[in-house]
Amino acid sequence: MRRKSLWFTLASLGVGVFVACSADPPVVPVKRAYVPYGSSQQNPYTGSQGRAGTWNSEYGRDQTSVGYSTASVNRASGIRREEGGNQVSESPSAVYRQVNVRRDYLSYGARGRSRKSMSPRYITIHSTQNWSRGADANRHALALKRGALGRISWHYTTDDQRAVQHLPTTEQGNHADHDGPGNRYSIGIEMCEHPGNSRSATLERTAKLAAWLCVKHDLPASRVVPHYKWPRHGKRPANKNCPHFLLDNGRPGSKWANFVKVVDVYRRRMGGR
């Protein structure tokens, strides 16, 4: 009976069992086109007709087909300058307010709380792979708090409106590679990708959050890494295609490099070394 009620809870939340990018499936071979795990629908990134085409036109209304565009990097790099050519800086607190963080920690008794201390060395970027309608940052926070994802946990979820913090950044989550360095030494950020969510706004918010965390923990932008970086023991492929819309053919390439450039611009604006 308890299991049955859990499934009804998940259905009411609009959060499926593949709700978050984790160390477990979904697994997508590097050379295959990305499709939702457990779904037979067409690739939503190809612009094909039918359900996938409708999804793309609704969800992709303000994004390029390649994810984080060069134009986005150029906009972020073209920081406002005062007369005389001096770069305008921003305080970390100002950037943090722009990110619009809502702190909503898991309870100490939640299954996703490791209670293991961590000194962050990396910031790991994920995408939720949850295309359920309404599966925003608040819904993922609720799913984590209710234990719907088992022991899976991460530190922040971002969407086009806000970022929700689930764990202290000095506590290990379970979002990358089981007991590997990705979990032991990195802060996990999940980006939402539900229908109607603006990917470009979510990316900007994520870049600012990652930059703020770099300043807070004295990390260079090169320590902002994709989930792909952390091999998962026993999985094929070991390195996950995540975040899929920031990778090129399942691997870090120009799109990922552009994203890190934007993070570094925001980091330097806040005086990061």
**pLDDT grade, residue 226 (50/70/90)?**
very high
**pLDDT grade, residue 234 (50/70/90)?**
confident
Question: Which has the minimum average pLDDT: 38-47, 196-205, 229-238?
Answer: 38-47
State residue 46's pLDDT score.
30
**pLDDT grade, residue 54 (50/70/90)?**
very low
Q: Is the pLDDT of residue 59 over 50?
A: no
- Looking at residue 45, its amino acid is Y
- Superfamily designation of domain 47-269: Peptidoglycan recognition protein-like (3.40.80.10)
Domain boundaries defined on the chain: 47-269
Q: Is the pLDDT of residue 120 over 90?
A: yes
Question: Which has the minimum average pLDDT: 54-58, 140-144, 245-249?
Answer: 54-58
pTM of the model: 0.75
Q: Is the pLDDT of residue 9 over 50?
A: no
